[in-house]
Amino acid sequence: MQKQTEWKWKIQSETRWFRWNLSEIWQYKDLLNRFVRRDIIANYQQTVLGPFWIFLQPILTTLVYWLIFSRIAKISTNNIPPLLFYLPGIIIWSYFSDCLNTTMYTFLQNSALFGKVYFPRLIVPLSNVLSQTIRLLVQLLLFLVLYFYYYFGTDLVHPNLYILLMPLLLCLTAAFSLGSGLIISVLTAKYRDLDYAIQFILRLFMFATPVVYPTSLVPQKYQFIFWLNPLTAVIESFRAAFFSATVVRTSYLLLSVFSVIALLTIGLTLFKRREQSIMDII
């Protein structure tokens, strides 16, 4: 009697829509851990200050914003200490920007590796997001140190129960950057000059995000368009949780959740659909 062989891998010429095979990620969890460790080490290898750049980057940026937007331009911070106002916006924006920039080059920077060995291609963008998440958590410790300084030394900050939304806000930012990065990675693999347009749009997008100003300064007629940006809900909810200067706008936060889920679904579907054929283009 002929013995049937159970195959572990099956290569097909076409990939079905919405077939993500996310279970493979767990099977390759050790590889994911190694990629995360590689990304963290590579970022600060052969640098003078090493991991201290994790703290120096947001500190220096915050000081520059404090000097320009608070002392010179005198933009309102809704009675929140300027340093505390700018720091969370800078940390969240940097996290989104770094995740997007590393994810969007998934195919271009790993084409040699993808052409030699098989593993779930989604491992690479996930490792980028996870390594940046570790960096984010370390920077949030810096924010907490500054926050407790103002909390015990002044009467200007008042936390509330909205702090429990923090995991949701961080996951929302990660999913937003991952979904956007997956879509752009497929497009930039075919259209190389799209990279220049994305970098330009990303710089403009920062000013459409309340990093250096509160949403109260936005004219009422532009409020809805402004809140369509998921990062607006994230940053404003973060400030509402720690400072009680505003309230969390639940309707806009839910809108951001649904829009990010839709964007992530499109990104995963497009990425998995084109991950095989796109290697012939690069």
Query: Using CA atoms, how far apart are residues 35 and 124, in angstroms rounded to an integer?
Result: 7
9 Cβ contact partners less than 8 Å away, ≥ 6 residues apart: 118
Query: Using CA atoms, how far apart are residues 98 and 96, in angstroms rounded to an integer?
Result: 6
Report pLDDT digits (tens) over 25-57: 888 889 899 989 888 887 776 666 667 778 888
Report pLDDT digits (tens) over 98-108: 999 999 888 88
What are the extents of the domains in the chain? 50-280
Query: Using CA atoms, how far apart are residues 207 and 215, in angstroms rounded to an integer?
Result: 12
Per-residue pLDDT, 149: 92
* Other beta carbons less than 10 A from residue 80's beta carbon: 21
From the number of C-beta atoms within 10 Å of its C-beta (0-12, 13-18, 19+), residue 168 rates as middle
Helix (H, G, I), strand (E, B) or coil at 267: helix
Per-residue pLDDT, 261: 95
- The pTM score is 0.89
pLDDT band at 1 (very low <50, low <70, confident <90, very high): very low
Per-residue pLDDT, 3: 52
177 vs 26, residue with greater confidence: 177
pLDDT band at 209 (very low <50, low <70, confident <90, very high): very high
CA neighbor of 201 nearest in space, from 209, 192, 211, 189: 209
In terms of average pLDDT, the best of 4-8, 161-165, 174-178, 269-273 is 174-178
Q: Which two tokens stand for residue 207?
A: 């000013």
From the number of C-beta atoms within 10 Å of its C-beta (0-12, 13-18, 19+), residue 262 rates as exposed
pLDDT band at 11 (very low <50, low <70, confident <90, very high): low
Q: What's the DSSP call for residue 6?
A: P
Secondary structure, 3-state, 236-280: HHHHHHHHCCCCCCHHHHHHHHHHHHHHHHHHHHHHHHHCCHHHH
Lowest mean pLDDT among 49-53, 84-88, 208-212, 246-250: 49-53
CA neighbor of 81 nearest in space, from 242, 234, 232, 209: 242
In terms of average pLDDT, the best of 16-20, 109-113, 153-157 is 153-157
Report pLDDT digits (tens) over 187-201: 888 877 788 888 889
> Which segments of the chain are extended strands (E)?
none
Per-residue pLDDT, 88: 93
Furthest-apart CA atoms within the chain: distance in Å: 85
CA neighbor of 93 nearest in space, from 128, 139, 126: 139
* Other beta carbons less than 10 A from residue 263's beta carbon: 19
Please give the average per-residue pLDDT across 198-217, as a whole number. Answer: 90
Q: Which two tokens stand for residue 81?
A: 């200490």
Report pLDDT digits (tens) over 43-94: 776 666 667 778 888 899 999 999 999 889 888 888 889 999 999 999 999 9
Query: Percent of the chain scored above 70 by pLDDT?
Result: 88
Report pLDDT digits (tens) over 110-146: 777 777 888 888 999 999 999 999 999 999 999 999 9
Query: Using CA atoms, how far apart are residues 66 and 75, in angstroms rounded to an integer?
Result: 10
